[in-house]
Amino acid sequence: MNTTRLPFASTALATRLSDHAARITALGFRGLRAEDPNRYQHLSVEAEGVLLDFSRQQIDSAVLTDLLALAQASQVSEGFAAMFRGDVINPTEQRSVLHSALRDQSGTPLLVAGDDVRALVNEERARRRQFVQAVTSGERLGATGSRITDVINIGIGGSDLGPVMAVEALKSYANPAMTVHFVSNIDGVQWADLSARLHPASTLIVICSKTFTTLETLSNATLARAWIVERLGEAAVGSHFAAVSVNQSAMNAFGIAPHARFALWDWVGGRYSLWSAIGLSVELAIGSENFDALLQGAYAMDQHAQAAPLAMNLPVLMGLLAVWNRHYLQQTSHAVLPYNQRLHRFPAYLQQLSMESNGKRVRRDGTPVDYPTEAVLWGEAGSNGQHSFFQLLHQGTDAVSMDLLLSACSSVDLQDSHELAIANALAQAEAFALGYTESEALAELQAKGLSKSAASALAPHKVHLGNRPSSLLLFARLDPATLGKLVALYEHKVFVESVLWDINAFDQWGVELGKQLADRLTPAVRGQGVAVEPSIAAILARLSHWNR
């Protein structure tokens, strides 16, 4: 792989970065810390109540200086400006990218194709607030006069992952009289489990689909509609469904009452749509004031991304570190490890955000890249991961980069327990960076009384190579505003990466082929006599035998 060709203005800069990578790899983290014990002082930045400690990354001040030059040469700030002012930065779909307008608090008009986007957003926001108020206050009841106590969000991808992540993250702020559930998967299992225990009379179903054509969502929505109609009658559909889509005619055809239809626009990408009416289920769970705080938090991060100098700019720094780890240190995967159980769906949410956005192999002009783009992102909440895959993180053959997220305060008023989580997060970050050498292992084992030969036999198994780069993301507490900041921070980090790689972060053509093939195969699976390729026919025959 060519590690010097990147779409950056300066080849000399790219060469310098490659040289740095060789130097830093040879030095290792222990060497870096020995050279500069006060790394934290200049390798950490705090803004908007979020502290990024990147002092355990495999960098030093010289690397940082050149990475910042890379951001400058790649015109990251200009990229932000183009996105925020509504330029068509998604050329393959001819769209502006304006999820930031959904949380804008400035009120300044913003024209896209002749429409004032901010006015549209405010109008829909007010309708949503009214709807949420009517449902949660009991003014809007089910068809039989029952109060709504349960909400089912039916959607998938961006119409599910953001809402489910936020509802889980903000459980401590939730209205105990309203429980929100999620159905996304195509196989009907989630629907069957939920519909067996919920009462249609007290359930509101929110169908979230930007396009209203997504197979999974339509299939689950059809099951839900039948459930309501069978138990409460056709006339109940209007009282028990709401929907969010750009597709007004499909919402109409489904029977969604006009006041329960919420609009979305082409300039909001699915994976960036949490801030729109796609967040309706979140707002029903936590209330409109808390949802406003979520939007305000994201807006604060938008302001920061646009205004902060590159060296103090959290998303810029995170994007640069990601490119450094991926491109110069050849890391293939990135783990997100939140040390707060409330964030247990955050890695899943980030998977779509990051891999659907930047999992691309061509540049904006369609020419193939000759450098690696997005790493595989995965993760798990805090100490659960320690007892599962941390073994590989510490001693596996591939080095993985990591973000460890950590709040100062417990989300559930169990500060003693939370402090155990804090200690573990910090300990892991140190262990990932420093490792544990063979001579340290030998000394420890001999001090424990092992013979020299027994200690020598065991020591190699105890070695941790270290040099696993990680960042800590710290904040006071996981409240709605902070969640808004964190999500917007990652959105902008992903954008920064895309600017550096010169790829379009806002289309997703890679999801189409599989969908088309599945559409073609469905009649064959249902035995409707469609000709298929012999290997598929053999599998279908076997499945059909087992399904007799």
Active site residues: 356, 387, 515
Q: What angle (nearest 5°) sits at the alpha carbon of residue 364, between those of residues 361 and 367?
A: 55
Stretch that binds ligand F6P, among 22-30, 206-214, 409-417, 449-457 (CB under 6 A): 206-214
Stretch that binds ligand F6P, among 119-127, 157-165, 450-458, 488-496 (CB under 6 A): 157-165
Residue 222 C-beta: closest distance to ligand F6P, Å: 14
Nearer to ligand F6P, 23 or 515 (CB): 515
Q: Of 483, 486, 489, 417, which Cα lies nearest the Cα of 168?
A: 483
CB 464 within 8 A of CB 431: yes
Longest dimension (CA), the chain: 82
Per CB under 6 A, 217 contacts ligand F6P: yes
Per CB under 6 A, 360 contacts ligand F6P: no
Of the candidate residues 44, 211, 219, 248, the single one contacting ligand F6P (CB under 6 A): 211
Per CB under 6 A, 156 contacts ligand F6P: yes
Of the candidate residues 153, 159, 386, 410, the single one contacting ligand F6P (CB under 6 A): 159
Residue 508 C-beta: closest distance to ligand F6P, Å: 5
Q: Which residue carries 């209205």 as its tokens? A: 175
Per CB under 6 A, 210 contacts ligand F6P: yes
Per CB under 6 A, 504 contacts ligand F6P: no
The contact mask relative to ligand F6P for 254-283 (x = CB under 6 A, - = no) is: ----------------xx------------
The contact mask relative to ligand F6P for 403-422 (x = CB under 6 A, - = no) is: --------------------
Q: Is 24 left (phi over 0), alpha (psi -120 to 50) or beta?
A: alpha
- Rounded Cα distance between 529 and 485, Å, is 53
The total of other beta-carbon atoms located within 10 Å of residue 357's CB is: 23
The total of other beta-carbon atoms located within 10 Å of residue 158's CB is: 25
Of the candidate residues 34, 408, 420, 511, the single one contacting ligand F6P (CB under 6 A): 511
Q: Of 170, 273, 196, 227, which Cα lies nearest the Cα of 480?
A: 170
- Amino acid letter, 93: E
The total of other beta-carbon atoms located within 10 Å of residue 58's CB is: 25
Q: Which residue carries 């307008």 as its tokens? A: 101
Residue 373 C-beta: closest distance to ligand F6P, Å: 17
Nearer to ligand F6P, 22 or 511 (CB): 511
Within positions 77 to 136, which residues make up the interface with ligand F6P, using CB under 6 A? none
Residue 46 C-beta: closest distance to ligand F6P, Å: 32
Q: Is 10 left (phi over 0), alpha (psi -120 to 50) or beta?
A: beta
Of the candidate residues 7, 86, 142, 158, the single one contacting ligand F6P (CB under 6 A): 158
- Amino acid letter, 350: L
Q: Of 434, 433, 418, 432, which Cα lies nearest the Cα of 383?
A: 418
Per CB under 6 A, 508 contacts ligand F6P: yes
Of the candidate residues 7, 86, 142, 157, the single one contacting ligand F6P (CB under 6 A): 157
Of the candidate residues 90, 184, 203, 209, the single one contacting ligand F6P (CB under 6 A): 209
Q: Of 278, 276, 228, which Cα lies nearest the Cα of 255?
A: 228
CB 103 within 8 A of CB 275: yes
Nearer to ligand F6P, 264 or 322 (CB): 264
Stretch that binds ligand F6P, among 33-41, 151-159, 293-301, 305-313 (CB under 6 A): 151-159
- Rounded Cα distance between 65 and 69, Å, is 6
Nearer to ligand F6P, 212 or 390 (CB): 212
Stretch that binds ligand F6P, among 11-19, 211-219, 224-232, 469-477 (CB under 6 A): 211-219
Residue 100 C-beta: closest distance to ligand F6P, Å: 18
Structure tokens at 396: 């596996």
- Mapping DSSP onto H, E and C, the string for 125-187 reads HHHHHHHHHHHHHCCCCCCCCCCCCEEEEECCHHHCHHHHHHHHHCHHHCCCCCEEEEECCCC
Within positions 316 to 335, which residues make up the interface with ligand F6P, using CB under 6 A? none
Stretch that binds ligand F6P, among 52-60, 152-160, 449-457, 488-496 (CB under 6 A): 152-160
Residue 67 C-beta: closest distance to ligand F6P, Å: 30
Residue 262 C-beta: closest distance to ligand F6P, Å: 13
Tell me how many residues contact ligand F6P (CB under 6 A). Answer: 14
Stretch that binds ligand F6P, among 140-148, 208-216, 296-304, 307-315 (CB under 6 A): 208-216
Structure tokens at 144: 């039989």
Task: List the end-to-end C-alpha distance of the chain, in Å, as a whole number.
Answer: 51
- Amino acid letter, 245: S
Residue 158 C-beta: closest distance to ligand F6P, Å: 3
Structure tokens at 316: 């810029």
Of the candidate residues 57, 214, 340, 498, the single one contacting ligand F6P (CB under 6 A): 214
Per CB under 6 A, 517 contacts ligand F6P: no
- Rounded Cα distance between 255 and 236, Å, is 10
Stretch that binds ligand F6P, among 153-161, 168-176, 292-300, 530-538 (CB under 6 A): 153-161
User: How many CA atoms does the CB half-sphere of 202 hold within 13 Å?
Assistant: 13
Residue 270 C-beta: closest distance to ligand F6P, Å: 3
Paired strand residues for 183? 154
Q: Which stretches of the chain bind ligand F6P, using CB under 6 A?
A: 156-159, 209-211, 214, 217, 270-271, 356, 508, 511
